[in-house]
Amino acid sequence: MRRDVDQIRNYLFGGGYPDPVSNAEQLAFLFFFYLVEGIDAENMARAKVLKQPYESMFKGSWTLRNPLNAPSKGETTIPKDRFRWSVWATGLSGEPLVRFLRDEILAEVGKKYKLRQDSYSRAIGGDSSGGICAFNAAYTHPELFTRVLSRIGSFTSIQWKPGVLDGGNVYPFKIRKDTKKNIRVWLQDGAGDLENEHGSWPATNIAMANSLKYRDYDFHFVWGNGTHSRNGGHAELAEEMIWLWRDYDPAKTSQEFTADPAEKDKPFFRVTTLNR
């Protein structure tokens, strides 16, 4: 049971982060949808206790904007229940997740809020499986997002099905051989992170940092002694935002990201101490 709960938790966290000064109108897309499910459940429970009427925001059906997001061919609507973050966690990954986010989620939020359409003004981030989801979204669709925050990212084999589906474990090698993407990346992990049947979180995050450095990406890697916890990232939130949004100009819609001069002349990351 604990393993199942941990796996679900790994998928839950992801979010878009705004520039706190120049780009305050940006909505924290994914974080909002994670929280809103809990708020809806609390409202339903409160209404039941107080014997007051309440209709869940997830009740009813949704007309799809993109037929490729249909669970089955020919379907034009889906239950609104599919917008629950916990449903995303078990039902979508990779390209289907990015497509659903782009065509359904952002389009719906955009009906109520004025959103920037340029990827230069959009960031995406998350913790654990949310971290790799954020990186995957920007890496495969830099026309949607160019700034990535990955905390304790699961660049491991959770989704790997040999001969059928690649997992996050391929990214350290994929980055070195793929066409370079115009994205800016902040990575964070700690020496006490997970070791399990899916892989080694500390080892793969170090490998990610070295691959990004090898290809001269604009990246920053924070390494500590932490476990698989959000605490380290929360403590660094201000620094993360300042670094990701440095030199942002709201009058622009694009920028070519180049390696941070402070990082460029540093050596590759190496493990120099052992715990035994």
What pLDDT score does 13 carry?
Answer: 33
What pLDDT score does 229 carry?
Answer: 87
The CATH class that applies to domain 1-26+120-276 reads alpha beta
Is 4's pLDDT higher than 80?
A: no
Which of 124, 225, 211 has its CA nearest to residue 169?
Answer: 211
What average pLDDT does range 39-43 have in this prediction?
88
Structural domain boundaries of the chain?
Answer: 1-26+120-276
What pLDDT score does 233 carry?
Answer: 86
Looking at the chain, the whole-number percentage of residues with pLDDT higher than 90 is: 44
Mean pLDDT of the chain: 83
pTM (predicted TM-score): 0.73
Is 243's pLDDT higher than 80?
A: yes
Element housing 30 (H / E): helix 29-50
DSSP 273: -
Which of 179, 19, 21, 168 has its CA nearest to residue 93?
Answer: 168
Per-residue confidence band for 91, with pLDDT thresholds at 50, 70 and 90: low
What pLDDT score does 276 carry?
Answer: 74
Which segments of 51-170 does DSSP mark as H helices, in order?
A: 85-91, 94-100, 106-109, 129-140
What average pLDDT does range 186-202 have in this prediction?
95
Per-residue confidence band for 88, with pLDDT thresholds at 50, 70 and 90: low
Which residues neighbour 79 within 8 Å (Cβ) at sequence distance 6 or greater? 58, 60, 61, 62
What average pLDDT does range 243-258 have in this prediction?
96
